[in-house]
Homo-oligomer: A and B are copies of this chain.
Amino acid sequence: MNKTKKAVILFSGGLDSTTVLAIAKAQGYSCFCLSFDYGQRQTIELERAKNIAKACNIQDHLILRLDLDAIGGSALTTDTPVPKNRKPGEMEKGIPVTYVPGRNIIFLSHALAWAEVLGAVDIFLGINAVDYSGYPDCRPDFLDAFATMANLGTKNGCEGRPFQLHAPLIAMSKKEIIATGMKLGVDYSMTHSCYDPIGELACGRCDACRLRLNGFAEAGIEDPIRYVKD
């Protein structure tokens, strides 16, 4: 633990990345949050991200524009409907339609760039291989390969300051993530998870809402955000 060590946090304003921010802060990192306006249907997450970053008194918050909607290929960036009313056990075993081609690779690539400019080597992200087992870019072997590539293709890596990628939630259940965040004082009322929000309200029916609600139920805590059905 080093109180002056900088870390870049991939930060969507969701339950997972807000928990990751709390973990990085608890480990003494000076936190630089990185969010993306990538053409996602859930742009409300950017407002939540801004509010949380401000409330957490982080070092800096950078929101970058990406044209992922011009590429398409995902229910999150096109008009393809988001699947609804599926229980966690019923979600497909394959790659979901909410997978965004290259998203975590693109996000992490920008994190490398910003970290290098900041003089940082630590990057935190909230990927999870339990609930999101269908997403190829949420798995440990992907993350290890990304680190290897990053340390060959950047100044940091070539000059003996290898990147460290931290994915503290990767093997946790949603219940464990919520329990971890609660211990660290995370205010989950400020977070957003829904893939298909209606105004300020979460839909309660998409996979992200179902996984979130299920996690809170298993943790024995009421989810403090507002849903359409409320």
Contact = CB atoms under 8 A, between A and B. Distances in A.
A114 to B, nearest CB: 5
* 5 nearest A-B residue pairs (beta carbon): A102-B113, A73-B117, A145-B149, A101-B113, A142-B153
Interface stretch (A11-19, A50-58, A103-111, A205-213): A103-111
Q: What size tier do the contact residues of chain A reach? A: 35 or more
A68 to B, nearest CB: 7
A228 interface: no
Interface of A: 62, 64-68, 70-73, 95, 99-106, 109-110, 112-114, 116-117, 136-137, 139, 141-142, 145-146, 148-150, 152-155, 157-159
Q: Count copies of this chain in the complex.
A: 2
13 contacts: A62-B70, A64-B67, A64-B71, A71-B114, A72-B117, A101-B112, A102-B112, A105-B150, A109-B109, A136-B155, A148-B148, A148-B149, A149-B149
